[in-house]
Amino acid sequence: MFGILNTLLFFPSGAIYPIQAFPPVVAGYRQSDPFTYAVDGFKVCLLHRGTYSGGGLRSKWLFLSIFAAVTLGIAIPLFKRARR
């Protein structure tokens, strides 16, 4: 299950293919894909050596932090231990 989910999130992220070649449907999906923000952040850190003046790195961290908090908030009640 995680392999399929990983594949569905990784390929539209722009890590392998240029995002300009995506059809409009995939480009719309890409806006909500957390892998996209992680890949873009890594590209900024590696290619610009962390000196990116556009402020885009901060928004990527903000999106990933909010996404992590929301998914953790959903996961905690689902995986609580049952008391006996």
Q: Which helix (H) or strand (E) holds 61?
A: helix 56-78
Query: Residues 52, 73: contact at Cβ < 8 Å?
Result: no
pLDDT digit string (tens) for 10-49?
877 877 777 777 788 877 777 788 888 888 888 877 777 6
Question: What's the token pair of residue 26?
Answer: 């995939």
What integer pLDDT is reported at residue 66 of this predicted model? 93
Q: In angstroms, rounded to a whole number, what is the distance separating the alpha carbons of residues 43 and 79?
A: 34
Contact between residue 14 and residue 41 where contact means Cβ atoms under 8 Å apart? no
pLDDT of 84 reads 60
Contact 35, 46 (CB under 8 A): no
**Domain residues of the chain, as ranges?**
2-12+20-78
List, for residues 57-84, the tens digit of each pLDDT value.
788 888 889 999 999 999 888 887 766 6
For 31, the token pair is 């806006």
Answer whether residue 52 shows pLDDT above 70: no
